[in-house]
């Protein structure tokens, strides 16, 4: 380990020998185009398969071209990134990919978001394609509620496979068959719905083309809005407001809560509510459940249950541990059931006329909304889930100039929220929010500093001990299902003892969800979203869920006691053991 001297395009560099050519070139401000390469540094998600053969460069003394993304540098290495030979190699790879890729860019889901489209444009590939021949065609998979697979558009970059296998350890997607017939697919070519897929959507988040996209519900939502008989309410998750702006070329990390509310109203929703309100409600229930378990020798640790990808993961992978997660429904489900009961009653609207639309950073929420047990009086709690991306598409379609919108507020009740609910959008946030409430309940004292900074950050598994009365409460946080698995296995093997654990399926938590604007491999974008979340929290007057006045009112008027009978009936759920494969 040490530094080595190399030369790239006549620029002399002295850089650590652990670098790849690609990384070293970056130091010299030399851009080498990449396609399959992905490195979400802080999240330890690296796709280095070097399969696309786009980043090819010439290395003196080497027989063939070298892939910059996967070739380590060595002392005295002389690299040329822009010779006719390397450009020919690069172009050929892209031209070959295009020869087996539908040319329907204009009507493609990923139009203007597609990495292949961009690289073809950057390389100046225009006009008639050089290579033509048989195209791969596969049956489209729309079997699930979350993920749409159109493998005609797959370029075998294998990023999805890396996410699914190495980062999330779900092992649903992997390459099958070989040669030209190679396809990324679940085992036995099963449709997604029949697999142990958690629908976390990380495969979609990193897919460079439109091979993997969400199951789009924009059409149905428009239809509901335009249906005069329906009373359409919308709720938006915490992580949406810190990412939506990116779709309108705003700086990542811009908080657009006000503009978003305004836009939703303009789209024609009857009421614009906030899932943050329901997040506060979740904390009321979850903190009560935690306190209850602590005080009554209940099963510990308690695991958060607001992430549907995580819920499905433990149902498949740890069916023997179904008693440890909190029985709380996720916030948007709680919201749905409150709208169709409390709100409907209060404003005298027939529950069956109400359509609840959730705007989520998440693809698993789409699947979750369809879980049969998440219903009340034969009505699903949530009718439609659309992603941040889909909302942006609706705003664009409606011709709304998003950036110029005046800030607007949510409707009330069910629109008020606290800082505690905002931080649901990032890893560590839910448990921090729960602690803010549980602490006060258990100690009977006021928590002065609500910032549990030791729970924040990007480390895959984090731990903290919080003194509650004379008890050391041990907390753990994991994000990314691979980290969750490690934690759960340690618990199952009795190697780790915690009182409470927060788990989010997506690396980074909801800000990195599968329904968010595409980050195109830039992890800085995710970090900016996190910063925005915490700054929104800081800016809130109320930062503890149990101090939310609309929540207090909800319990007084309707639910009774937190974790009480009615709350239990409406806001809690159960889990189902599912098969591992």
Instruction: Dig out the tokens for 160 from the structure.
Output: 């999805």
Q: Which is nearer to another protein, 207 or 369 (CB)?
A: 207
Catalytic residue among 108, 154, 197, 510: 510
Work out how close the CB of 153 gets to another protein at its nearest, in angstroms, rounded to a whole number: 14
Q: Are 340 and 379 in contact (CB under 8 A)?
A: yes
What tokens were used for 187? Answer: 């085992």
As a whole number of angstroms, the distance between CA 147 and CA 201 comes to 7
Specify the residue, 51 or 304, whose C-beta has the smaller distance to another protein: 51
- Tokens 């978001």 sit on residue: 113
**Selected catalytic residue, list 36, 108, 306, 362:** 306
Q: Which two tokens stand for residue 390?
A: 């889909």
Nearer to another protein, 72 or 143 (CB): 72
565 is catalytic: no
List 58, 109, 246, 286, catalytic entry: 286
Of 365, 366, 528, 544, which residue is the catalytic one?
365
Q: Please, what is the minimum distance in Å from the beta carbon of residue 52 to another protein?
A: 6
Where do we find the tokens 């699947």? 367
Start-to-end Cα distance in the chain: 42
Catalytic status, residue 306 = yes
In eight-state DSSP terms, residue 280 is H
Residue 85 CB, nearest distance to another protein (Å)? 7
Is 365 among the catalytic positions? Answer: yes
User: Which listed residue (333, 368, 440, 502) is catalytic?
Assistant: 368
* Gap between the Cα atoms of 292 and 297, Å rounded: 8
The verdict on whether 550 is a catalytic residue reads no
For residues 335 and 356, the answer to whether their CB atoms sit within 8 Å is yes
CA dist., res. 110 & res. 148, Å (int): 13
Give least dist CB 34 to another protein, A: 13
Catalytic residue among 109, 289, 315, 432: 289
| List 75, 352, 373, 489, catalytic entry | 373
Q: Least distance from C-beta 410 to another protein, angstroms?
A: 49
- Shorter beta-carbon distance to another protein: residue 178 or 541: 178
Q: Is 333 an active-site residue? A: no
Q: Which residues are at the interface with another protein (CB under 8 A)?
A: 48-54, 56, 64-65, 67, 70-72, 85, 88-89, 92-93, 96-97, 99-100, 130-134, 155-156, 158, 174-175, 177-182
CA–CA separation, 263 vs 401, rounded Å? 9
Q: Is 200 a catalytic residue?
A: no
Calculate the CA 268 to chain-centre distance. Answer: 27
**Radius of gyration over every alpha carbon of the chain, rounded to an integer in angstroms:** 25
* Residue 134 C-beta: closest distance to another protein, Å: 7
Q: Give me the catalytic one of 326, 358, 417, 421.
A: 326
CB nearer another protein, residue 52 or residue 324: 52
CA 400, CA 405: separation in Å to the nearest integer?
8
CB 127 within 8 A of CB 142: no
Query: Nearer Cβ to another protein, position 41 or 130?
Result: 130
Nearest distance in Å: CB 94, another protein: 8
Burial of 139 (0-12, 13-18, 19+ CB in 10 A): exposed
User: CA-to-CA distance for 1 and 229, rounded, in angstroms?
Assistant: 69
The b/e string for 406-418 (b: 16+ C-beta within 10 A; e otherwise) is: eebebbebbbbbb
By C-beta, is 96 or 542 nearer to another protein? 96
Distance CA 431, CA 383 (A): 28
Phi-psi region of 182 (alpha: psi -120 to 50; beta: other; left: phi over 0): beta
Of 86 and 146, the one with the shorter C-beta distance to another protein is 86
Least CB distance to another protein at residue 538 (A): 45
Place of tokens 């959730």: 358
Q: Which residues participate in catalysis according to the annotation?
A: 286, 289, 306, 326, 365, 368, 373, 510
């Amino acid at each position: 380990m040490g530094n080595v001297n190399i030369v790239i395009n006549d620029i002399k560099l002295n850089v650590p020998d652990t670098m790849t050519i690609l990384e070293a070139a970056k130091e010299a401000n030399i851009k080498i185009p990449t396609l399959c390469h992905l490195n979400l540094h802080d999240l330890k998600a690296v796709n280095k398969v070097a399969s696309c053969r786009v980043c090819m460069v010439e290395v003196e003394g080497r027989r063939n071209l070298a892939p910059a993304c996967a070739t380590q540098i060595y002392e005295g290495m002389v690299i040329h990134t822009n010779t006719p030979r390397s450009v020919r190699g690069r172009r050929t790879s892209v031209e070959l990919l295009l020869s087996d890729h539908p040319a329907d860019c204009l009507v493609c889901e990923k139009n203007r978001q597609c990495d292949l489209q961009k690289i073809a444009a950057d390389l100046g590939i225009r006009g008639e394609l050089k290579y033509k021949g048989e195209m791969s065609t596969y049956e489209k998979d729309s079997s699930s509620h979350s993920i749409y697979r159109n493998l005609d558009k797959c370029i075998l970059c294998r990023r999805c496979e890396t996410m699914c296998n190495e980062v999330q350890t779900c092992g649903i997607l992997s390459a099958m068959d070989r040669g030209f017939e190679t396809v990324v697919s679940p085992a036995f070519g099963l449709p997604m719905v029949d697999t142990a897929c958690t629908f976390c959507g990380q495969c979609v988040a990193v897919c460079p083309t439109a091979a993997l996209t969400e199951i789009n519900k924009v059409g149905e939502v428009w239809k509901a809005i335009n249906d005069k008989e329906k009373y359409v309410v919308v709720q938006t998750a915490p992580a949406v407001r810190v990412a939506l702006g990116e779709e309108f070329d705003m700086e990542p990390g811009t908080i657009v809560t006000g503009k978003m509310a305004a836009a939703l109203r303009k789209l024609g929703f009857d009421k614009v509510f906030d899932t943050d309100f329901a997040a506060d409600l979740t904390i009321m229930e979850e903190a009560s459940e935690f306190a209850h378990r602590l005080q009554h020798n209940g099963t510990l640790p308690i695991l958060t249950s607001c992430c549907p990808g995580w819920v499905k993961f433990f149902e498949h992978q740890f069916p023997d541990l179904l008693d440890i997660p909190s029985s709380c429904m996720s916030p948007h489900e709680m919201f749905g059931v409150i709208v169709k009961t409390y709100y409907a009653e209060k404003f005298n609207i027939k529950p069956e006329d109400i359509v609840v639309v959730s705007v989520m950073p998440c693809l698993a929420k789409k699947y979750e909304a369809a879980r049969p047990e998440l219903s009340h009086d034969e009505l699903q709690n949530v009718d439609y889930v659309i992603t941040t991306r889909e909302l942006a598409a609706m705003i664009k379609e409606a011709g709304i100039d998003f950036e110029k919108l005046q800030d607007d507020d949510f409707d009330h009740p069910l629109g008020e929220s606290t800082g505690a609910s905002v931080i649901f959008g990032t890893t560590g946030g839910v448990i921090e929010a729960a602690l803010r409430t549980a602490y006060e309940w258990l100690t009977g004292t006021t928590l002065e500093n609500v910032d549990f900074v030791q729970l924040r950050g990007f480390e895959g598994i984090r731990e903290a001990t919080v003194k509650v009365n004379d008890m050391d409460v041990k907390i753990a946080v994991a994000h990314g299902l691979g980290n969750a698995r490690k934690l759960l296995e340690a618990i199952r093997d009795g190697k780790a003892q915690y009182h409470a654990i927060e788990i989010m399926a997506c690396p980074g938590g909801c800000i990195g969800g599968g329904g968010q604007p595409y980050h195109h491999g830039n992890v800085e974008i995710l970090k900016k979203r996190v910063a925005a979340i915490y700054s929104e929290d800081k800016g809130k007057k109320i930062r503890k869920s149990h101090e939310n006045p609309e929540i207090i009112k909800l319990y007084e008027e309707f639910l009774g006691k937190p974790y009480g009978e009615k709350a239990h009936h409406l806001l809690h759920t159960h889990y189902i053991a599912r098969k591992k494969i």
